[in-house]
């Protein structure tokens, strides 16, 4: 997980814009207005994480707390928590 890219995307785009970029990336082999990468799944993964962080920030969390919450959720899904 590239935290720097996620933070930049979360600051720059709204959740709705990030959702549109996810759709674009899926339809255009990893290319979108927000972020371009070689692997479609990597691009979608990064955009989805940024969208989650942005949503949490809009709910009042600080940027660092939103990133920590994202990491906690990922660990939970992976069964590490």
CA distance 39 to 74: 20
CA distance 79 to 60: 27
What is the reported pLDDT for 38? Answer: 83
> What are the backbone angles phi and psi of residue 13, rounded to the nearest 5°?
-120, 150
Mean pLDDT, range 56-63, rounded to an integer: 97
CA distance 63 to 11: 9
How many domains is the chain partitioned into structurally?
1
Indicate the pTM of the whole model.
0.90
What is the residue range of 21's domain? 3-78
What is the reported pLDDT for 81? Answer: 63
**Predicted confidence (pLDDT) per residue in 3-16, tens digit:** 999 999 999 999 99
CA distance 17 to 28: 16
Residue with tokens 């919450």: 69
């Amino acid at each position: 997980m590239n935290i720097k890219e996620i933070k930049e995307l979360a600051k720059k785009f709204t959740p709705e814009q990030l959702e549109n970029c996810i759709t674009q990336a899926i339809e255009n082999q990893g290319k979108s207005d927000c972020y371009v990468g070689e692997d479609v799944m990597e691009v979608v993964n990064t955009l989805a994480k940024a969208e989650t962080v942005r949503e949490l920030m809009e709910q009042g969390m600080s940027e660092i707390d939103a990133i920590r919450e994202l990491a906690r959720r990922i660990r939970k899904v992976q069964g590490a928590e």
